[in-house]
Amino acid sequence: MVRIIASLVGAAFVFVLGLALFGTVSEWVSNPPVESAEHEFHHHPLDAGLSSAGFFGKFDRRQVQRGFQVYQEVCSACHSLKYVSFRDLTQLGYNDAEVKAIAKGWKIEQPTINPDTGEASTRPNVPSDRFPSPFANDIAARAANNNALPPDLSLMAKARHDGANYIYSLVGHGYVAQPAELIRKFPASKTPTGLHYNQYFANLNIAMPPPLTQDGQVTYADGTRASVDQMAKDVSAFLTWTAEPRLEARHAAGFGAVVFLIIFCFLAWGAYQNVWRDLKH
């Protein structure tokens, strides 16, 4: 009796699945998906070739420092790093004195309250502070950016699919002239006033103007030639670090776990052979 009930339940389950599949297929045949500009003209990210990519990836400290310089001189005008502290920069090779100097010289000071008057005031940053937002609040941020809210960049490399390559492609190679073929096929997709065409952005139109506009926009402290492509790679490396500063430790732990499992399998196999060797016929 139990087998009969189980068979009936299984048959009903299969019938419902088949019915759902038939409905999906028939709907797709009768109403095929409409071709969109995003589907046809959106590009997949280019490979940035970062040293942190891959199973054995490690950060190139010099490159990440250059990326921090790009963030400091270009990106920090609009974007915050609210989950990163100044003292975290010691992980990139900066010593304590350099971190103190970077924090103290940061163009945006920390908001505070004057203890004598009770009025809002500011104070210089210290290493334990997190990077301050360039705007007092979201309203001020929108007012300064054509009603667009610049996202925080702390976790951007984790928040977007293929994050490091996405950032590299978006800021370094995404801003191109809108293809004439796109306007011909999809007239309504013409980039509106105030937005910028970017072939790597989800809907092809982004509020952020091109941040990297010319070679030499940043003068690297280590003498590296600051081409637009190089700056895009470096800032994507830096934002990969801000999103996952313990990436190297995770990779090392993963490698150790794999080695342990391989050794354990051999030991288990050897134990099995030893225990059962006298019982085999």
Average pLDDT over residues 142-163: 93
CB-based contacts of 245, cutoff 8 Å, min separation 6: 88, 91
Residue 208 annotated as part of some ligand binding site: yes
Question: Which residue's entry shows tokens 């103290």?
Answer: 104
Mean pLDDT for the stretch of residues 142-166: 94
Tens-digit pLDDT profile for residues 168-218: 999 999 999 999 998 888 888 889 988 999 999 999 999 999 999 999 999
Q: What pLDDT score does 279 carry?
A: 66
Tokens at 106, concatenated: 């940061």
Neighbours of 43 (CB within 10 A): 14
Torsion sign (Cα): 176, 182, 183, 186: negative
The pair of three-digit structure tokens given for residue 116, joined into one six-digit string = 């004598």
- Residues 6 or more apart from 177 whose CB is under 8 A from it? 197
* DSSP for residue 83: T
Answer whether 211's CB lies under 8 Å from 173's CB: no
Alpha-carbon span 93 to 64, nearest angstrom: 10
- The owner of tokens 């430790």 is 249
Q: Where are the domains of the chain?
A: 37-84+152-250
The model's pTM is 0.83
DSSP, residue by residue, 44-55: PPPP---TT-ST
What is the C-alpha to C-alpha distance for residues 31 and 27, in angstroms, rounded to an integer?
6
Q: Quick one: fold of 37-84+152-250?
A: Cytochrome Bc1 Complex; Chain D, domain 2 (1.10.760)
**If you write DSSP's letter for every residue of 181-226 in order, what string do you get?**
HHHHH-GGGSPPTT-EE-TTSTTSEESSPPS--STTSS--TT----
% of the chain at pLDDT higher than 90: 63
Angle at 257 between CA 253 and CA 258, to 5 degrees: 120
CA distance 41 to 197: 11
Question: Per-residue pLDDT tens for 218-260?
Answer: 999 999 999 999 999 999 999 999 999 999 999 889 889 999 9
How close are the terminal C-alpha atoms of the chain, in Å?
Answer: 42
pLDDT for 4-52, tens place per residue? Answer: 887 777 788 888 888 777 767 676 566 665 567 778 888 999 999 999 9
Residue 75 labeled ligand binder:
yes
Q: Please list the residues that pair with 206 across neighbouring strands.
A: 196
Q: Is the pLDDT of residue 121 over 60?
A: yes
79 is in an annotated binding site: yes
The tens digit of pLDDT for each residue in 78-99 reads 999 999 999 999 999 999 999 9
For helices 163-173 and 228-243, angle between their N-to-C axes, nearest 10 degrees: 150
